[in-house]
Amino acid sequence: MADHHPTGIKRWLFTTNHKDIGSMYLWFSFIMFLIGGAMAMVIRAELYQPGLQFVEPNFFNSMTTMHGLIMVFGAVMPSMVGLANWLIPMQIGAPDMALPRMNNWSFWILPFAFTLLLSSLFMDGGAPNFGWTFYAPLSTTYGPPSTDFFILGVHMMGISSIMGAINVIVTVFNMRAPGMTLMKMPLFVWTWVITAFLLIMVMPVLAGAVTMMLTDRHFGTDFFNAAGGGDPVMFQHIFWFFGHPEVYIMILPAFGVASEIIAAFARKKLFGYSSMVYATASIALLSFIVWAHHMFTVGMPIAGELFFMIATMLIAVPTGVKVFNWVATMWQGSMTFETPMLFSIAFVILFTIGGFSGVMLAMAPVDFQYHDTYFVVAHFHYVLFPGAIFGTTAAVYYWLPKWTGKMYNEKLGKIHFWWSMIAVNLTFFPMHFSGLAGMPRRIPDYNMMFAAFNQLASIGAFALGLSQLFFLFIIIKAIRSGKKAEDKPWEGATGLEWDALPCPAPYHTFDTPPQVK
Amino acid sequence: MSTENQEKYEKYYVPEQSPWPIIGAIGLFLLAYGGANFIQQTTGKYNNDGSMGWIIFSVGLAVIIYMMWSWWRDTIRESMNGLYSAQMDRSFRQGMLWFISSEVMFFAAFFGALLYARQLIVPWLGGEGNNAMTHALLYPDFIPQWPLTTTPAGETTTAMGAFGLPAINTAILLTSSWTLTIAHHALKDGNRSALLNYTAITALLGIIFLGLQAYEYYEAYHHMGLTLGSGIYGSTFFMLTGFHGFHVTIGTIFLIVMSVRCASGHFTKENHFAYEAGAWYWHFVDVVWLFLFIFVYIV
């Protein structure tokens, strides 16, 4: 029987099937999303009022740190890898990922890595409390004992990401069906292959940074210690050389998702396909030469500030191309507004707001005012939540019929959308104002004058948290009792996964490559 | 359409279930958890004697070695049973190339630290640019120079010269790349004895390199006062050479395994991906050393 698949727990532990691994990645990332979200709830509860209400400052710092680390490495990145696993082989007509066993290893490292990271919450001295950016000397000289577990946890995540990225690149370059030329690939595949390049380039640099941290902490080296001829600022340079491309690692696959969904529901071909590819590649290349815009206030030579300022602003050009193309795709399309489309349109609008505040932050003289304030928090949450998370959410709604053979309830989906849309803006928009007024980030207590904005943000955050539980409910309901999906539930959908495969996709697909015209 | 393609294309081998990935993940976890405890116990910075760090670490290491052994055993069996198509071979090759690329970036982080320290930190601590006050207030007696033999805090050390052991080691590694290439050509020509001899010589040169490096470290620690704690010079010196030495160790083990596999007749003229992967890795390690020799020792 063609659709035979192994059963029991071994199916998941020992699997080499890209669909199983994709599902595990997606569920894992959702669990991490809820854990990281719970930490965000702690943060917002404490910030609901000025003064210290619920938690100690040190624990508050652990919460901001762990929230960031878990969301970046545990929720967003694995969710994107999950999408890649499910979709790339089907979209390019491959039987599986190129290196299926390594694929399984990439996944299974993650639960262990995050067990290690989360166990630090129960250690003497508490969990890492130096922010997700773990600047030296906070993480070296002053880091709690759990820092060492954090360091090795990061090493494990890095190994996982690098292997995952290698798998994606090799799959795309070696496994495409005959006729599937590079410039015929769906944009999701393109954005992911570029993401994978970024991962291979920068995850090892992160590994280098934490290795130097470890030796500074325990073996007497002086990389980040001025007394020995090192420099804590060097840590920031190395970290952000990883950190800035990392930002694009989290968003580029979401660009790909939005490009596919908008085209499908506008019932038009994506406007400017090749310019989308080149824009994505340009964003990726530029991401290597802009890292120091995260550290304008650290005391760089003026030439450095200028260079990084101008290079950063250049990124607005390819990003503008993308936003233009999304809008032009919708222009005069026969649009309908199913849930995935709603999330994608919100993605375009809200991500653009995040992009604009990014341009503001890119201006060195202005950044001196914004630096380390809630304005920065507002900015990166606008690109990450309505950017990366909305992108993933849209993808889940869009491809759910392909994965499970079931439809979600459209009405509930729309409620989920409007609920998240309102909550996300209520949470993060006021942060622009508190930030501009000078409220510093990563602080458990604040001046009375910021109280109103913070209350709004906290109310929004609780609503946003609840909306994610509602999302979980919708998905479980769809899987258990959803309407059976037609083979092509979306009229305007294109691509091999819709045209050549039924819903749900069989356990093994494209044992023989399809011919792409 | 599909039957036509069925005849035209070889089937890509998607392996059945395998227990090794998850065993590898458990091994890595034990390695990391034990390693962190082990480090904390050894350096005594924290009060952490209750845990059995080194035992967990060793178990993790054993699990990893067992996993690698079994995983590769399976792969070799499948390959020798002819399950792998030419396309599969390309997957392995591309995978190895991208793995080496990621390793290049790992070294790049440490080289970046070295260049940043030499070109920016040390001059700035000496007051260059707009850092006159840093110099005057923090370390007024500090003299910027490279190799940095006196740190801002006043610790002194000796710099490692380039033209003793390091030059010999350079010659050894370059020679080893050459012998490996001879072996590789012998493999392609089907010349078994030359293949075996030159692969073994290459591995032997790797071992000699490591022995000399150990001796160099011994000299540094015991006669030159050059340690990991000798300021940024010692930090970058040992991090770069140590990390490279670790890679030479892996490469040497790789080559020894390849010698054994050559002797067992695993490779044919056409089908010898593992051997080439080992060779690529070795050349990569060799090229890194050239950069090390220039930037750590000579300049």
| Residue A248 annotated in active site | yes
Report which of A283, A293, A291 is spatially closest to residue A253, judged by C-alpha positions. A283
Tokens read off for B132 = 């006159």
Q: Which amino acid is at B162?
A: A
Task: Among B83, B105, B125, give the residue marking a domain's end.
Answer: B83
Within a domain: B1: no
- Is residue A217 within 8 A of residue B228, CB to CB? The reply is no
Q: What is the CATH number of the domain that holds B268?
A: 1.20.120.80
d(CA A156, CA A103): 14
| Residue A96 annotated in active site | yes
- B102-154: per-residue pLDDT in tens? 999 999 999 999 999 999 999 999 999 889 998 999 999 999 999 999 999 99
- Determine the residue of chain A that is closest to B48 in CA distance: A145
Report which of A475, A327, A330 is spatially closest to residue A392, judged by C-alpha positions. A475
Same domain, B183 and B204: yes
Same domain, B42 and B147: no
| Residue A67 annotated in active site | yes
Within chain B, which residues score under 50 in pLDDT? 1-2
d(CA A204, CA A43): 31
Q: Which residues of B touch A15 (CB under 8 A)?
A: 17
Q: What is the CATH number of the domain that holds B28?
A: 1.10.287
Task: Among B25, B57, B83, give the residue marking a domain's end.
Answer: B83
d(CA A248, CA A280): 10
Report which of A202, A189, A314, A318 is spatially closest to residue A249, judged by C-alpha positions. A202
Q: What is the pLDDT at residue B1?
A: 42
Residues in a beta bridge with A373: A440
| Residue A432 annotated in active site | no
- A318-375: per-residue pLDDT in tens? 999 999 999 999 999 999 999 999 999 999 999 999 999 999 999 999 999 999 999 9
Q: How confident is the model at residue A393 (pLDDT cuts 50, 70, 90)?
A: very high
* Closest residue to A515, CB basis, from B1, B45, B108: B1
Q: Is the pLDDT of residue A497 over 50?
A: yes
Contacts of A228 (CB under 8 A, 6+ apart): A221, A222, B151, B152, B153, B155, B229, B231, B232, B235
Same domain, B58 and B92: no
User: With helix as H, strand as E and coil as C, how does chain B read?
Assistant: CHHHHHHHCCCCCCCCCCCHHHHHHHHHHHHHHHHHHHHHHHHCCCCCCCCCHHHHHHHHHHHHHHHHHHHHHHHHHHHHCCCCCHHHHHHHHHHHHHHHHHHHHHHHHHHHHHHHHHHHHHHHHCCCCCCHHHHHHCCCCCCCCCCCCECCCCCECCCCCCCCHHHHHHHHHHHHHHHHHHHHHHHHHCCHHHHHHHHHHHHHHHHHHHHHHHHHHHHHHHHHCCCCCCHHHHHHHHHHHHHHHHHHHHHHHHHHHHHHHHHCCCCCCCCCHHHHHHHHHHHHHHHHHHHHHHHHHHC
Q: What is the per-residue DSSP string for A15-46?
A: ---HHHHHHHHHHHHHHHHHHHHHHHHHHHHH
Within a domain: B5: no
Q: How far apart are the first and last CA of chain A?
A: 29
Q: What is the pLDDT at residue A338?
A: 97
- B147-179: per-residue pLDDT in tens? 999 999 999 999 999 888 999 999 999 999 999
Q: What is the pLDDT at residue A1?
A: 40
Quick one: DSSP state of residue A141?
T
Q: How confident is the model at residue A499 (pLDDT cuts 50, 70, 90)?
A: very high
| Boundaries of domain holding B123 | 88-298
Contacts of A280 (CB under 8 A, 6+ apart): A190, A191, A194, A252, A255, A318, A322
Within a domain: B247: yes
d(CA A412, CA A477): 10
In this prediction, what percent of chain A has a pLDDT beyond 90? 97
ipTM over the 0.85 cut-off: yes
Same domain, B161 and B99: yes
Same domain, B45 and B130: no
Q: What is the per-residue DSSP string for A296-314?
A: GGGT--HHHHHHHHHHHHH
Question: Quick one: angle between helices A232-266 and A273-286, nearest 10?
Answer: 170
Burial class (CB in 10 A: 0-12, 13-18, 19+), A201: buried
- Determine the residue of chain A that is closest to B18 in CA distance: A14
d(CA A138, CA A116): 20
- How much is the mean pLDDT over chain A? 96
Determine contact: B132 vs chain A, CB below 8 A: no
Report which of A136, A244, A90 is spatially closest to residue B235, judged by C-alpha positions. A136
Quick one: DSSP state of residue A439?
P
d(CA A198, CA A287): 9
Q: What is the pLDDT at residue B5?
A: 66
Same domain, B100 and B35: no
Same domain, B149 and B237: yes
Contact B21 A237 (CB under 8 A): no
Within a domain: B108: yes
Same domain, B249 and B103: yes
Q: Which residues of A touch B20 (CB under 8 A)?
A: 101, 105
Catalytic residue among A294, A379, A406, A416: A294
Contact A229 B233 (CB under 8 A): yes
Within a domain: B179: yes
- Is residue B289 within 8 A of residue B244, CB to CB? The reply is yes
Q: What is the pTM of this model?
A: 0.96
Q: What is the pLDDT at residue B47?
A: 78
- Is residue A344 within 8 A of residue A258, CB to CB? The reply is yes
Same domain, B140 and B246: yes
| Residue A293 annotated in active site | yes
Same domain, B74 and B144: no
Q: Does residue A145 have a cis bond before it (omega within 30 degrees)?
A: no
Q: Which amino acid is at A227?
A: A
Same domain, B48 and B131: no
Q: Residues A465-472: what's their mean pLDDT?
A: 97
- Cβ-Cβ pairs closer than 8 A, A with B, add up to 242
Q: Residues A255-260: what's their mean pLDDT?
A: 97
- Is residue B34 within 8 A of residue B54, CB to CB? The reply is yes
- Determine the residue of chain B that is closest to A16 in CA distance: B17
B window 71-100, beta carbon within 8 A of A:
71, 87, 90-92, 94-95, 98-99
Among the residues of A316-409, which ranges form H helices? 316-330, 339-362, 364-370, 374-383, 390-404
Task: Among B67, B83, B99, give the residue marking a domain's end.
Answer: B83
Q: How many CB atoms lie within 10 A of CB A151?
A: 26
Catalytic residue among A23, A62, A160, A344: A160
For testing contact with chain A, the best of B232, B233, B238 (most A CBs within 10 A): B232
Q: Which residues of B touch A515 (CB under 8 A)?
A: 1, 4-5
A124-129: long-range pairs with CB below 8 Å, 24+: A124/B46, A124/B47, A126/A58, A126/A59, A126/A62, A127/A62, A127/A65, A127/A66, A128/A62, A128/A65, A128/A66, A128/A69, A129/A58, A129/A61, A129/A62, A129/A65
Q: How confident is the model at residue A229 (pLDDT cuts 50, 70, 90)?
A: very high
Within a domain: B7: no
Report which of A252, A229, A248, A228 is spatially closest to residue A240, judged by C-alpha positions. A248
Within a domain: B3: no
Question: Scanning the structure block, which residue is given the tokens 């309908």?
Answer: A336
Contact A156 B125 (CB under 8 A): no
Pairing between β-strand A483-484 and β-strand A406-407 as defined by DSSP bridges: antiparallel
Same domain, B118 and B258: yes
Q: What is the per-residue DSSP string for A189-225?
A: HHHHHHHHHHHHHHHHHHHHHHHHHHHHHHS---TT-
Within a domain: B101: yes
Looking at the structure of chain B, the number of domains it has is: 2
Contacts of B28 (CB under 8 A, 6+ apart): A109, A112, A156, A159, B60, B64
- A21-44: per-residue pLDDT in tens? 999 999 999 999 999 999 999 999
